[in-house]
Structure 1
């Protein structure tokens, strides 16, 4: 068995690679820059870009299962090439917002129509997103500036997403399933900041700011923070539409994303990791 992991250097992808290697299977890890991948030596690192499907032929050779990072624009062609190369099982990374009916995912549809065995992995918000929006200010000032102090959020550890994906890649019985993945409970921003401080062993202050100020701060950071600011702060809905309410989010029903879903434990046999565990795992990233 040889499994191709696309998006192998991302938060989830790295954990998928590690989980598969621990299971003793052959792993080929796809990345745009193999020289900078910093993946375990047992992984075969292959160059390729999901936005350029023609670059994937060498990486697909001899592969029979694939973890698919979603790139909507090229998904159909990537999946067609994979099937032509002999890939018979595809596990794709999707989102819990699809379960909630907030939008549809064309990658899911393409996977289902491919004729491959398929499993959709639909996580809620990534705990790891906080590394990309809060870590700079925590490292520099030991402070988080953000709105929504006491509103509950449903977040998941990237390792739990990977554990479910690994199980679906290796085990039978997951074909045709869509797993909605959440943490063990909802958690507020104030509680998250407190947990980061406890992981560091020192105080991290929380400063409530408006959505507008938070957007300014996130845009100034660039990268993921800038790209995701409007969605995370409610200035746009899933699908890119602007909400009619000034408060944001009002036009969509988020109740399904506030539920604690049982799928992590159902698939893996262990309960999902909580935010305190995640903060401890990433304490050095905030330090």
Structure 2
């Protein structure tokens, strides 16, 4: 039995879509009613990292799990790992971040993910670490201003980011969960090229068939915009991450995705074409 956590999230829902229909698996979410498209005998169960009893129920009979946590600075990973070890889980595939491998990255998010990786490596279970670069789907945050103003506002408009299609991350996760040879491996996952926000804007404009304008946000403008959505500590971590991008830390393309999947990594143009409805 495989357990997929974060089943309503960006990557988790794609993992659910890709697991073979004849494979026994279960999906876990704090809101299982939001998990759609499941076919029997696959079941959606309630699970919350802060509720040990819910983890015990979700992990019963599970041999491998896909672990996603989003409570930055919290102990969700520690709670899940303890429960999984007690339940006899043999292998955990964890969604982490590419910045973990960058010695120059020392923001709150990266430190948290490093600590979580250490917990998993020391757990006694088999592990696989997925370290993606920024998700292409992060550009969905531009949709409202694209629709209303035909403008994209972002930091680091001229700095490349080898962002990755979340569907590629999910494909790698499924291989790690269902295949051999992935235990003890850390995979850095990127797209096929480093692309700037200005270039992404131009590609969106071409696909939409209408002009779009890119406006570079200053640091204080970005801080004010982020504070609407995130707490102070997370805002500062995101700004530190943006500074690293401006210095070129996110531009390196890694060849792991095509090696593991036997095909090229998905491009931003391809991702945008498939999600164009969000920007219309």
How high is the TM-score relative to the length of structure 2? 0.87
Query: Aligned partners of 2:177, 2:118: CA distance in 1, in Å?
Result: 19
Matched residue SS, 1:193: helix
Structure 1 residue ranges (4+ consecutive) displaced by more than 6 angstroms after TM superposition: none
Matches within 5 A, 1:46-85: 46-70=45-69, 72-85=74-87
Cα deviation per residue 1:244-287 (whole Å; 9 max; x = unaligned)? xxx9449x9754x3211111112111221010011112111222
1:38: which partner in 2? 36
- 2:274 counterpart of 1:281: yes
Matches within 5 A, 1:189-268: 189-220=197-228, 222=229, 229-232=235-238, 234=239, 236=240, 248-249=243-244, 255=249, 257-268=250-261
Query: Aligned partners of 2:259, 2:35: CA distance in 1, in Å?
Result: 32
Taking a change above 3 Å as real, the CA distance of residues 196 and 219 of structure 1, as seen in their structure-2 partners, is: farther
Taking a change above 3 Å as real, the CA distance of residues 76 and 208 of structure 1, as seen in their structure-2 partners, is: closer
Size of the alignment, in residue pairs? 269
Q: Where in structure 2 are there 5+ consecutive unaligned residues?
A: none
Cα deviation per residue 1:92-124 (whole Å; 9 max; x = unaligned)? 011100112224512211211122111000001
1:119: which partner in 2? 128
Taking a change above 3 Å as real, the CA distance of residues 229 and 11 of structure 1, as seen in their structure-2 partners, is: same
Query: Aligned partners of 1:227, 1:10: CA distance in 2, in Å?
Result: 22
State the Cα distance separating 1:74 from its structure 2 match.
Answer: 2.8
2:26: which partner in 1? 28
Taking a change above 3 Å as real, the CA distance of residues 223 and 230 of structure 1, as seen in their structure-2 partners, is: closer
Query: Aligned partners of 2:188, 2:244: CA distance in 1, in Å?
Result: 21
State the Cα distance separating 1:227 from its structure 2 match.
Answer: 8.1
Matched residue SS, 2:127: strand
Higher mean alpha-carbon deviation, 60-69 vs 196-205, is at: 196-205
Query: Aligned partners of 2:267, 2:154: CA distance in 1, in Å?
Result: 21
Q: Where in structure 1 are there 5+ consecutive unaligned residues?
A: 238-246
Query: Aligned partners of 1:197, 1:55: CA distance in 2, in Å?
Result: 46
Is the 1:180–1:263 Cα contact (8 Å) retained in structure 2?
yes
Taking a change above 3 Å as real, the CA distance of residues 253 and 196 of structure 1, as seen in their structure-2 partners, is: closer
Higher mean alpha-carbon deviation, 174-183 vs 97-106, is at: 97-106
State the Cα distance separating 1:39 from its structure 2 match.
Answer: 4.2
Query: Aligned partners of 2:213, 2:54: CA distance in 1, in Å?
Result: 46
Query: Aligned partners of 1:32, 1:199: CA distance in 2, in Å?
Result: 36
2:3: which partner in 1? 4
Query: Aligned partners of 1:52, 1:73: CA distance in 2, in Å?
Result: 12
Matched residue SS, 2:119: helix
How high is the TM-score relative to the length of structure 1? 0.85
Taking a change above 3 Å as real, the CA distance of residues 227 and 204 of structure 1, as seen in their structure-2 partners, is: farther
* Superposition CA RMSD, Å: 2.4
Query: Aligned partners of 1:155, 1:167: CA distance in 2, in Å?
Result: 21
Matched residue SS, 1:258: coil
Query: Aligned partners of 2:45, 2:29: CA distance in 1, in Å?
Result: 6
Matched residue SS, 1:30: strand
- 2:100 counterpart of 1:107: no
